[in-house]
Amino acid sequence: MRQVIVAHAHCDLYCGVYDPAQAKIEAMSVLKSAQKYQDSNDEVFRDRALLIKEERAELVKHHLSVLWTDFFTADHRKEFEDLDDLFWRAIHQAGEAKKSADPAEGQKLVDLIDEIADIFWQTEKAKDMGVYPPS
Give the span between the Cα atoms of 110 and 23, in whole angstroms.
9
Site for a second copy in 48-87 (CB under 8 A): 48-52, 54, 61-62, 65, 68-70, 77, 84-85
CB atoms < 10 A from the CB of 72, how many? 22
| Nearest Cα to Cα of residue 45 among 36, 54, 53 | 36
Helices (H) and strands (E) in the chain, counts: 7, 0
Of 12, 81, 124, 127, the residue at the interface with a second copy (CB under 8 A) is 12
- Residue 32 or 125 with smaller CB distance to a second copy: 32
Instruction: Give the interface size with a second copy as a residue count (CB under 8 A).
Output: 60
| Nearest Cα to Cα of residue 17 among 132, 134, 135, 116 | 132
| Position 114 contacts a second copy (CB under 8 A) | no
Name the site residues for a second copy (rule: CB under 8 A): 2-3, 5-7, 9-14, 16-17, 19, 21-22, 24-25, 28-29, 32-33, 36, 40-52, 54, 61-62, 65, 68-70, 77, 84-85, 88, 91-92, 94-96, 98-102, 131-132, 135
